[in-house]
Structure 1
Amino acid sequence: MQRLSLPRHETRKPDFSLAMVNIVLLLVLFFIVVGAPADPAERDIRLPEVRDLPIEALPRPLLRLTSGDGLVLDGQIVARTALISAIRQGDGPQMLHLLVARDHAARAVLALSAELGAAGAQVKLVTVRSGPDGGGAP
């Protein structure tokens, strides 16, 4: 007697390409409806603006970074190296409030902050809010 064999069924691997296309199209549709991946208010950065600033009302010790990268500590011009060495020796202030003009180079501000921090000082950035009339108030 001869044995008849049934045809074998080949096992197919499932195809996920249709599911991937659906996911991509849903994401595209989502971003079209939403308009943007992030809220525009989160991307809006407004720099501080200083006009007619009453320096006396600001916290002390106040370190101002001038336009020529000079330093003024509580109204007195101070050399950068002298200030750094005084902080390292413990003779200088251990906490400084840093006031910088709006249009000052960010690299200079970050470099000064890093240098003061490495010397052991705590640095706080002082900003001024401007009112509706454009005048600043601390």
Structure 2
Amino acid sequence: MTPEKRNTLPKATRKLPLDFSLTTVNIVLLLIFFFLVSGSLVETEELSVDLAETSDLPLDRLPRPLLLMDVDDKLQLNGDAVSPDTLLATLTPLLNETTPRLHILADRDVPAGALVSLIQRPDLRGIEIKLVTLRQFKPDS
């Protein structure tokens, strides 16, 4: 037999390695489209915050001792003006000895940092602090 007539295997073709970059790009693009669409579905009203609003505050119906915090960093303890330096001295006789508790009512325009710094004062440690909020009354029509 001659070599030409012999059944020979076809020449091996070189296989190309699988390229996963196209698949990766497709997945990334799908994720980008998903987040673009889902981000545009969120309404801006869902992200807004309605702040508390107070008018004609009846101090006699609120818990005691009550510390009112004004926008101008003015403090009132049970309706009487008090300075930050004399707050603890004025507050001590008003506290319950078994469970010392202070209620704080801050104006809606008070910066959050000012309220946090008041709450974190070292001289108020050991006193339970409660934030007082008021619901705006809307009469039924």
> Would the aligned equivalents of 1:97 and 1:123 in 2 still touch at CA under 8 Å?
yes
How many corresponding residue pairs? 125
Q: Does 1:129 align with 2:132?
A: no
Q: Does 1:111 align with 2:125?
A: no
Consecutive unaligned residues in structure 1, runs of 5 or more: 1-5, 134-138
1:15-26 maps to which residues of 2 (within 5 A)?
15-26=19-30
User: What displacement does 1:31 show?
Assistant: 2.8
- Give the TM-score normalised by the residue count of structure 2: 0.67
More deviation, 112-121/35-44: 35-44
Name the % identity.
Answer: 38
1:28 to 32, 37, 55: 32
> Would the aligned equivalents of 1:64 and 1:73 in 2 still touch at CA under 8 Å?
yes
Q: How much is the aligned-residue C-alpha RMSD, in angstroms? A: 3.2
More deviation, 111-120/121-130: 111-120
1:100 to 101, 106, 121: 106
Deviations 1:78-100 (A, max 9, x none): 3323334677xx75632211111
- Give the TM-score normalised by the residue count of structure 1: 0.68
